[in-house]
Amino acid sequence: MKKSTVIEALGALAQETRLDIFRLLVQSGPGGLAAGDIGERLGLPSPTLSFHLNQLRFAGLINSRRESRSIIYSANFKAMNGLLAYLTENCCGGRPELCAPAIKPKCSSEMRASAKRHIKGIIFNG
């Protein structure tokens, strides 16, 4: 991952509302959420939500797709894992076991399998 891409992603996440949106989309999994559902869950008016979703999309952290009359947003797990890989590359003096999260994420087995596939893709495909 290029340094400029990392800076863009971190900049997008360095804002409370965007961080809340991104975390909600990560929690919702690959299926994502409709824009209206995101706004409702976070109590955001449409113009504010639209602005923040666009910032996350431009940073490459989320994807969008149209389903009927709704726009569905989902976390870009490949980008998220790439960002985490960049941040932890060469960490801990060559002892990667020290970089493991302190708390295991509460993910479904499907989400864990998806994350493993993304990580393998990053490792083997660059």
The strand pairing partners of 63, in sequence order, are 74
For the four alpha carbons of 114, 30, 85 and 102, in that order, the dihedral sign comes to negative
Q: How confident is the prediction along the chain (126 residues), in pLDDT tens digits per residue? A: 899 999 999 999 999 999 999 999 999 999 999 999 999 999 999 999 999 999 999 999 999 999 999 999 999 999 999 998 888 887 777 676 776 665 555 565 666 666 666 555 555 555
Looking at this protein, which amino acid is placed at residue 1? M
Compute the distance between CA of residue 53 and CA of residue 63 in angstroms, rounded to an integer.
Answer: 9
72: helix, coil or strand?
strand
Q: List the domain range (segments joined by +) for residue 32.
A: 1-126
CATH of the domain at 1: 1.10.10.10
Cβ pair 46, 39 in contact under 8 A: yes
Q: How many domains does the chain have?
A: 1
Q: In degrees rounded to 5, what are phi and psi of residue 65?
A: -150, 150
pTM value is 0.76
